Structure 1
Amino acid sequence: MTTSWQAYKVDEKNPGSDVAGETAAVMASASIVFRKTNPHYSHLLLHHAQQLFELGDKYRGKYDESVRVVKGYYPSVSGFKDELLWAALWLYKATDNEAYLSYALDKANEFGGITWSMNEFSWDVKFAGLQIIASMLLVEEKHRKLAFELVLKQYRSKAEYYLCACLNKSNESNVKRTPGGLLYVRQWNNMQYVSNAAFLLTIYSDHLQTLNRRLICDRGELGSEEVRVFAKSQVDYILGENPKATSYLVGYGSRYPQRMHHRGGSIESYGENKGFIRCTQGYDNWFHRKGPNPNVIVGALIGGPNEKDEFSDDRKNFMQTEAYTYNTASLVGVLAKLHGLEDDGVFNSPLTASR
């Protein structure tokens, strides 16, 4: 990729609380992952996470107001308040510093954490995720003091609203489903909502199992196993158990999309063509070709079918064939869980199909 790239930044004069908060959350969570295997790196991540959170909180504003060029691509529809709450909770998990928990509790109402009832979790809208993190803190004895418990239970109410909506057990706003059973939120890259929902449902299923508790919804109760089975059904659909009998995870199974909307997939590799390829050349010479992509982007989860389970394998159909890292990221977590259950003999699924 030889195209010139313009770099932008957020700072005191050009605030971007959403992108600062999201990056702080990423670094704080990663610091937990690397705490034992690479303590120095873990400490470095946490240090910068705290700096970024302080920057985002002190100089508040949406990043697409400071870096206006992104408005046409990735505008922050939900604003920055969800990302600040998201960051505070991850920093609390990484540091056990009660100041971060107090931030998430004190600002729960003002920032929408306990007022927004959600039926999606996405790269932009973090409310459902942070509501689930907050609600799970109720397990620990130290969070049952009155000052904490009241707000955490309100977080839990909103978290379970999201889960019940995904499970079609709400009286108010259930997530739609395709005839084949896939959760359907909107036409552009619907799979992000599917993989994210499957991930959060799986996490909460474990939580319910630990507590020996059932999920209570408007239209009935569900046990941890029922929640997990539904999450698995979404993964099974992704991997090929659907009306098209197509895997939407590129490179997986015997049948998967051949013309995903991806520059690296659709242009010949350097090994095959060592000539200089300008940006427009990629579009002019390869984008409109009818044949399969020369390179298989293994593990890419594309946008997926429409509300009728219909899918067109065409590079120009970017709403369905474009791939996103935030689709695959949450799917990996669910696959890891299902793989463990499969090894324990709990589930049989398409995961075994192409080992």
Structure 2
Amino acid sequence: MSTELNNFWGIANRQYREVPQGDSGLLDGNASLVGGFYDSGDNIKFSFPTAYTITLLSWSVIEYHKNYKDIGELDHIKNIIKWGSDYLLKIFIPSNQTSPASSTLLSQVGMADVNCWQRPEDMKQERPVFSCDETASDLAGEIIAALSAASLVFKDDEKYSTNLTKMARELFDIVTKEEPGFVQGTYTMKDGCGAQARQFYNSTGYKDELVWGGTWLFFATRNTTYLRYSTEYVVMAEEEELSVDKGIFYWNNKLPAIVVLLTRLRFFFDLGYPYEESFISSTNNVDSFMCSYLSPVDHKTQGLVEVVQMVLVFPLKTCGVSPCLRQVSYIHGDNPMEMSYMVWFGNNYPKHVHHRGASIPWDSQWRSCVEGNTWLNSEQPNPNELLGAMVRGPDLNDMFLDERDKLWFTAPTISSNVGLVAALVALLDLQYPFSSLNGADLLGIDNFGIFDDIHLINQRRL
């Protein structure tokens, strides 16, 4: 890595001890569920944000693969995506492998335990697995989106890419079937499926995830059946959107990103009937909320980086890039607290991140839950640095408490950090103009990569 990049990340000529890593969770699901990601410094694997993370990481690689390659990180990010995709393939169990009646989606491995602060490598206790049936529509939709987007990342590996789209197609057919008595719903609606996840990732709707999944499945397969589904049901998804979520793209609301994808499709391909009406509606929505999000206000880190990613993925005609830089600058210390919310960036960053592996010394000593709790309650800085992680950040009044037990300030969620990754890779190269919609290489973006090899057959006029 160059000296310039070292200085950018704030780690040049400084000593640190990064969080060590070892094997953990090797008995999850009787060893059938090894893999995945722990979230927020806890030893829990949530399927919903994992799938969301893989979707966004894949999207960032599709759009900015040149930037990843230029800094020598393309293989690294693809390895991370494959690790997550492999896990998602494991948590979808088709009916022919269980019972003919229903397919199974696994929503969570492990559970929240406030009495156990322990490194994941030290876990010995049995870890419960939470399962859902095929009515967990939102979870299914996000998994479909993740597998479909990842298939585009690995399109050069035909066997693996085909397997990803095969599973995505199969799951889509299952959860969108129109049969008497079949009911769609949210995965947190049922206790056995999402009772624990409800505390952390409570889903308030499912239609946006199904449209999100259908949209990505169209890009992955070029099958207009999925595009027809997305354009027909996007209005229903908009009706389900909560007023507090209007225009906000994050793990619980995919609509802003959906309309960006559909709008880009309209700009680059004249699809005409029967899609034009939905595309025009999407374009209007983008125009109305995008510039409002880029008005000169300070958005907090929750949801901020996802907005930055969206703005840079969509080549705006009027808003410009400077507001995006302003938002990232807020995360990196240009805020009332003068606090960088990214670990190890700058001189004033969180030292008590809510993270089990970071907060417990790595000295080859096994520690029980009770012994680990000593470190949870310690006022000492973490002995290991969670290099590059962004914490949840300040409250609405710009106040932040760097305290390990206050996870609403200091937890590093994968769902927010994935947006930061996408935003930073998009901002790596600012030498290109940000004013053309004619296929120019805007900020390193691959305008047409997401549409690669799409050849639409003329639609029948009904």
TM bracket (short chain): 0.7 to 0.9
2:311 is aligned, of 195, 201, 204, to 201
Q: CA deviation at 1:115?
A: 7.6
**Alignment map for 1:203-282 (pairs within 5 Å):** 203-204=313-314, 207-208=315-316, 214=317, 222-223=318-319, 226=320, 228-269=321-362, 272-275=363-366, 277-282=367-372
**Alignment map for 1:1-355 (pairs within 5 Å):** 1=120, 2=123, 3-12=125-134, 15-36=135-156, 38-58=157-177, 60-66=184-190, 67-70=193-196, 72-112=198-238, 118-143=246-271, 145-168=272-295, 181-184=297-300, 191-204=301-314, 207-208=315-316, 214=317, 222-223=318-319, 226=320, 228-269=321-362, 272-275=363-366, 277-283=367-373, 285-341=374-430
Q: Separation in 1 of the partners of 2:408 and 2:333?
A: 19
Q: CA deviation at 1:20?
A: 0.9
Q: Separation in 1 of the partners of 2:401 and 2:228?
A: 49
- C-alpha change, 1:256 and 1:239, in structure 2 (3 Å) is same
Which residue number in structure 1 is paired with residue 448 of structure 2? none
Q: CA deviation at 1:250?
A: 1.1
Deviation per CA, 1:258-304: give whole Å up to 9, x if none: 001111111122xx1422x2334322x11110110111111211111
Q: Separation in 1 of the partners of 2:303 and 2:161?
A: 30
- Judge conservation of contact 2:343–2:349 (CA < 8 Å) in 1: yes
Q: Separation in 2 of the partners of 1:162 and 1:247?
A: 27
- SS of the aligned residue for 2:176 comes to helix
- Judge conservation of contact 2:355–2:411 (CA < 8 Å) in 1: yes
Q: Separation in 1 of the partners of 2:212 and 2:270?
A: 20
- SS of the aligned residue for 2:381 comes to coil
- Judge conservation of contact 1:247–1:253 (CA < 8 Å) in 2: yes
Q: Separation in 2 of the partners of 1:152 and 1:294?
A: 52
Q: CA deviation at 1:311?
A: 1.5
The Cα RMSD (Å) is 2.3
- C-alpha change, 1:192 and 1:30, in structure 2 (3 Å) is farther
- Judge conservation of contact 2:237–2:255 (CA < 8 Å) in 1: no
Q: Separation in 2 of the partners of 1:260 and 1:249?
A: 10
Q: Separation in 1 of the partners of 2:261 and 2:394?
A: 30
- Judge conservation of contact 1:85–1:113 (CA < 8 Å) in 2: no
Q: TM-score, normalised by structure 1?
A: 0.79
Q: CA deviation at 1:77?
A: 3.5
Q: CA deviation at 1:254?
A: 2.7
Q: CA deviation at 1:116?
A: 7.1
- Judge conservation of contact 2:249–2:307 (CA < 8 Å) in 1: yes
Q: Separation in 1 of the partners of 2:401 and 2:270?
A: 52
- Judge conservation of contact 1:119–1:165 (CA < 8 Å) in 2: no
- C-alpha change, 1:99 and 1:319, in structure 2 (3 Å) is same
Amino acid at match of 2:251: W
In the alignment, structure 2 segments of 5+ residues that lack a partner are: 1-119, 435-462
Q: CA deviation at 1:154?
A: 0.6
Q: TM-score, normalised by structure 2?
A: 0.61
Q: CA deviation at 1:126?
A: 1.1
Q: Separation in 2 of the partners of 1:335 and 1:154?
A: 30
- C-alpha change, 1:128 and 1:279, in structure 2 (3 Å) is farther
- C-alpha change, 1:71 and 1:327, in structure 2 (3 Å) is closer
- C-alpha change, 1:326 and 1:317, in structure 2 (3 Å) is same
Q: Separation in 1 of the partners of 2:215 and 2:433?
A: 35
- C-alpha change, 1:200 and 1:115, in structure 2 (3 Å) is same
Q: Separation in 1 of the partners of 2:415 and 2:148?
A: 18
Q: Separation in 2 of the partners of 1:20 and 1:266?
A: 34
- SS of the aligned residue for 2:392 comes to coil
Q: Separation in 2 of the partners of 1:337 and 1:87?
A: 24
Amino acid at match of 1:239: H
Deviation per CA, 1:32-52: give whole Å up to 9, x if none: 01112x222111111111122
- Judge conservation of contact 1:305–1:311 (CA < 8 Å) in 2: yes
Q: Separation in 2 of the partners of 1:27 and 1:116?
A: 27
Q: Which runs of 4+ in 1 moved over 4 A?
A: 113-117
- SS of the aligned residue for 1:9 comes to strand
Q: Separation in 2 of the partners of 1:339 and 1:74?
A: 32
Q: CA deviation at 1:114?
A: 9.9
Amino acid at match of 2:141: G
Q: Separation in 1 of the partners of 2:133 and 2:232?
A: 25
Amino acid at match of 1:259: H
Q: Separation in 2 of the partners of 1:124 and 1:280?
A: 34
Q: CA deviation at 1:141?
A: 3.1
Query: Comparing both chains, which one has the higher relative contact order based on Cα–Cα distances under 8 Å and sequence gaps of 6 or more?
Result: 2
Amino acid at match of 1:281: E
